Amino acid sequence: MQQSPQHAGVAELADAPDLGSGIERCGSSSLPTRTGFSRPTLPVMDDRTRIAADQLARMRGMTGMYHRQFYADINLTSIATTALFIVGWGWVPQAFLLIPIVTLGGAVRTAFDASYLIFARWYAMYLEQYVNGKIGSRILVASELEATYLFDLGTTKIVTIPLKGGLPWFGFVTLFYTVIGVASFGFGLALGWGTLFTGPTALAVAYLVFVIGLTVTALAAGTWWFVGGEGERRLSTVLIERFGGDVTACPQPNETLRRS
């Protein structure tokens, strides 16, 4: 569809989903007054800026998805663990021995979800700064809000629990469920201990070696990747190489949008 001459120099923000949601919430006396449901307009984005905006929308979708998956896995693990406690107390005491495996598996799954959440946030942060620089205004601030309200990137953390700078609510909730998981692991093993050696000794030894081996491996890998910062170092290395070290430079928020 051919654009009319008076609109040939502008593109609707609807073309860049994340930009649109940010602009519509920003009030400015310098922007022209609009009525109805019309959207503000920006200069036509060049190909690189449009690609960055599309990637930013994709990363924001990934962030939301893995937030939901993170708590879905917590809920699944909680339900499975509770069911095993009920079965162990009511009918089959050996069910207690499954609780350490279920809780450990839940911890690894939620850490996996968090790793993709961190990945999406790192990329989104650089994309936001890049697009802000291109459009000449610091409109996209979701990454700054997430760093303040949820947890910061590039800092020492146990998955999403910061070890410095105070504990935000997101970190508290993660810590809360972590404590419940550790307690369930210990109680399950303790309650099932009496039934562990009622069968063949070799089977009991194999179970203990399996559980201890899984636990030590998971703790070692998690410490290396999250607490040691290996995962975030890899992300920052690639992003700095692609975007450069100074992607934050852009005009102050009170600067007006330039229109063609």
Confidence of residue 8 (pLDDT cuts 50, 70, 90): very low
Closest CA to 189 of 208, 214, 164, 175: 208
Average pLDDT, the chain: 83
Confidence of residue 165 (pLDDT cuts 50, 70, 90): confident
Q: 193: Cβ–Cβ under 8 A, 6 or more apart, which residues?
A: none
Confidence of residue 157 (pLDDT cuts 50, 70, 90): very high
pLDDT in tens, 34-83: 444 444 455 567 899 999 999 999 999 999 999 999 999 999 999 999 99
Task: Report the alpha-carbon distance of residue 29 to residue 26 in Å, rounded.
Answer: 10
Tokens standing for residue 53: 């905006």
**Residue 236 pLDDT greater than 60, yes or no:** yes
**Residue 129 pLDDT greater than 50, yes or no:** yes
Closest CA to 50 of 131, 124, 120: 131
Give the least confident one: 106-115, 158-167, 205-214. 158-167
Q: Supply the pTM of this predicted model.
A: 0.78
Confidence of residue 210 (pLDDT cuts 50, 70, 90): very high
pLDDT the model gives residue 41: 54
Q: 248: Cβ–Cβ under 8 A, 6 or more apart, which residues?
A: 129
Confidence of residue 239 (pLDDT cuts 50, 70, 90): very high
Average pLDDT for 207-215: 98
pLDDT the model gives residue 23: 36
Confidence of residue 102 (pLDDT cuts 50, 70, 90): very high
- Residues β-bridged to residue 10: 43
- Residues β-bridged to residue 157: 162
**Residue 19 pLDDT greater than 90, yes or no:** no
Average pLDDT for 7-11: 38
